[in-house]
Amino acid sequence: MQIDKNQLLRFTTAGSVDDGKSTLIGRLLYDSKSIFEDQLSAVEKTSQQKGIEGVDLALFTDGLKDEREQGITIDVAYRYFTTPKRKFIIADTPGHIEYTRNMVTGASTANAAVILIDARHGVIEQTKRHAYIASLLQIPHILVCINKMDLVDHSEEVYNDIVTQFEQFSSKLYIKDVRYIPISALNGDNVVNRSENMNWFKGSPLLYELETLHISSDINKIDARFPVQTVLRPQRDEFRDYRGYAGRIASGIYRVGDEVVVLPSGFTSKIKSINAGEKSVDEAFAPMSISMTLEDDIDVSRGDMILRKNNQPEAIQEFDVMLCWLNNKSAQPRAKYTIMHTSNEQKAMIKEVVYKLDINTYQRINEDKDLHMNDICRVKIRTTRPLMIDAYKNNRTTGSLVLIDENTKETVAAGMII
């Protein structure tokens, strides 16, 4: 295996048990031989107890005790599988409206989203919700799987109808890359192996798409953004006066010798050295974790950003954000929160709720402006000091933030900067 070139792809699957989501994930794990024998025999045993013939694939994704008892998924569960081409991380999220927060969580780091549609029912409210969240979180690739094709006689017409339905409503959304695949997760058609029941389909099976999606250009390599996490000051003679600025490059490429500016101070300098672990390197790019030293002895600390002079984010105190409320405790008007944005923390206030969004119809709601769990809304935020921000559509790291309630210390909202 030439594993040294293999990439990591994170994808999210949203849907309910009825869509066959668990069966699909079970199928991917099973057909890619990621299931171990002891797991298989446990599932075979449970399948038998339930009176199911053969193996119930959905049982491979069975979760915690409460979830098994109630037959639901409460939280985001992460699953892993590897093929000779890639390593995959699945963020498996429940699809009901009360779990919008989990879908948003799973979507936040995903390269791709798999949206399941039951071929018998076509596009339903839930489909629209999933597509909206995928577009809100700017997941670069959407794979729409029209499942249970075996129950509609593998009909090309049914498939085409659903594709048309999806295209119609999703034209209102910002989705860069969408592909459609007719599948039967239960029988394995077009999941890992090409279906013999649907020769009319000229596209590729789901796993092939996941293995070949072009993801290296999804990370912004143009705008160099380096938020400083911590400063390394080794107390050792051979590293006297050493100050390494450690962090994970959010976007762009940095090279030794680059002229840089540190915000918010505005001091300028040149990159003297870059370290990736113990190795000294000439250049580094997102999403590498590195440390760098500068030619000049200037004051840099956690929360600062090291940037190129001619390409800087906005440093502002008031901006608009699409917010997803994640907490049982509703937002109080003009309440104060702590914002976490890259490695920076500031006090902030929700100045105004501009509108709330009905994520099933995409209609704006102007009359009701209270923010409850799972609500998505556009707000104006004011911070006590400037934040160095980019629009989320240009940068998923410097364009995202969370709000923390200082009274409970909990993460109460996720925001995407407009």
Partner 1 sequence: MNQYYLNYLDELESEAIYILREVWAQFQNPVIMFSGGKDSILVTHLAKKAFYPSKIPFALLHVDTGHNFPEALQFRDDLVKKLGVKLIVGSVQKSIDEGRVAEEKGKNATRNALQITTLLDAIEEHKIDCAIGGGRRDEEKARAKERFFSHRDDFGQWDPKNQRPELWNLLNGKHFEGEHFRAFPISNWTEMDVWNYLKRENIEIPSLYLAHDREVVWRSDTWIPNSEFLKLEPNEKVVTKRIRFRTLGDITITGGIESEADTLEKIVEEVSTMRQTERGNRSDDKRSETAMEDRKKEGYF
Among residue numbers 75 through 114, which ones bind partner 1 (CB under 8 A)?
Answer: 75-80, 82, 86-87, 89, 101-102, 104-105, 108-109
Question: Amino acid identity, residue 335?
Answer: A
Q: Choose the stretch contacting partner 1; rule: CB under 8 A; options: 48-56, 187-195, 198-206, 410-418.
A: 410-418
Among 179, 194, 248, 378, binds partner 1 (CB under 8 A): 248
How many residues touch partner 1 under the rule CB under 8 A: the total is: 77
Residues 111, 248: Cα–Cα separation, whole Å: 18
Among 98, 236, 266, 310, binds partner 1 (CB under 8 A): 236
Record the tokens describing residue 401, joined without a space: 């933030």
Among 48, 193, 212, 230, binds partner 1 (CB under 8 A): 230
Near partner 1 in 301-360, by CB under 8 A = 302, 326, 338, 340-341, 343
Residue at token pair 């210390």: 409
Q: Half-sphere exposure of 359 toward its Cβ, with a 13 Å CA cutoff?
A: 27
CA angle 64, 65, 67 (to 5 degrees): 65
247 near partner 1, rule: CB under 8 A: yes
Among 307, 371, 414, 417, binds partner 1 (CB under 8 A): 414
Instruction: Report in angstroms how near the CB of residue 19 gets to partner 1 at its nearest.
Output: 20
12 near partner 1, rule: CB under 8 A: no
Angstrom CA distances, 414 to 18, 271, 305, 330, 358, stand at 28, 34, 21, 14, 17
Instruction: Report in angstroms how near the CB of residue 77 gets to partner 1 at its nearest.
Output: 5
Q: Choose the stretch contacting partner 1; rule: CB under 8 A; options: 14-22, 151-159, 199-207, 237-245.
A: 237-245
Instruction: Report in angstroms how near the CB of residue 292 gets to partner 1 at its nearest.
Output: 13
Among 97, 164, 177, 234, binds partner 1 (CB under 8 A): 234
289 near partner 1, rule: CB under 8 A: yes
268 vs 338, which CB is nearer to partner 1? 338
CA angle 384, 249, 243 (to 5 degrees): 80
4 near partner 1, rule: CB under 8 A: yes
Q: Half-sphere exposure of 95 toward its Cβ, with a 13 Å CA cutoff?
A: 27
Angstrom CA distances, 407 to 129, 255, 352, 402, 410, stand at 32, 43, 21, 15, 8
CA angle 53, 55, 60 (to 5 degrees): 145
Near partner 1 in 253-272, by CB under 8 A = 253
Record the tokens describing residue 406, joined without a space: 């200082």
